[in-house]
Structure 1
């Protein structure tokens, strides 16, 4: 009997609170939304004890918990996708840095100093491979950068450029036309 009086008391208190809240609203345009929301809550309050008797409360709680878990899982998937992109970006930065170190060692092995290198990648079968490489090297390690065309007898590329280009071509399987090497004096 006490449960029924408690139930009726909850309904009456809720109705009094909602009526007071509606009266305190400064603008009448929100009243229909507040009344709609209050009506949904009133239905839940009225049907609450009936759901307990019918055993539906546990089912509602389980369904609610399951939907919350699904929402959390979807958010995690979105977060993981973002993390995968971030991880992929970081891996590409490290990969590019390592390739630049290798190119610097190739240039140094030919008696030159690397000033700058740029690598453009292409996606091939889910992995990234170098598509083109541009290298700027110098005979001396200095901050002064004056670009001078290398002297060759036949008007083509110098022996250093040809050797560096051939080595890069062999190591990275890049066509010679995609390798640009400039030497600064």
Structure 2
């Protein structure tokens, strides 16, 4: 506990040194108030970090940030796929599917799920939309004792259910169109 407090105090000291150096290096006072505002926001984060970690809010914030990043990447991928029409439409659709498969694979690996195969199918109407997602996954965690195996299987199933819900939200696909096999 005392080590955590010392780390927090050390981080505060480094931050104040950093803040002082930045403010002294500014050539004009023209941007000083904007830099102070930004550094004040950073100071709040440094001050609240112990509280966030105790309440596990840092993990929740990271999950929300990952979800927002995935949604932004999806929107950017859709925009780039829709901007080119005509001759190369089939090629672009396949490239879009591959990009989505790679995003999903990276998300699953970030959640410590081993991925054998990811397949994304698109509907080609007025706009591109994800029709079906098929995943082939396995649990990297193995039970040392047989009595632990049921808990590990249940935890993995809960993790897969969360992944299914997250994929449904991000890619706007009905959960019945997301197939996960082991």
Give the TM-score of the pair, scaled to structure 1: 0.45
TM-score with structure 2 length normalisation? Answer: 0.46
Tell which structure's C-alpha radius of gyration is larger. Answer: 1
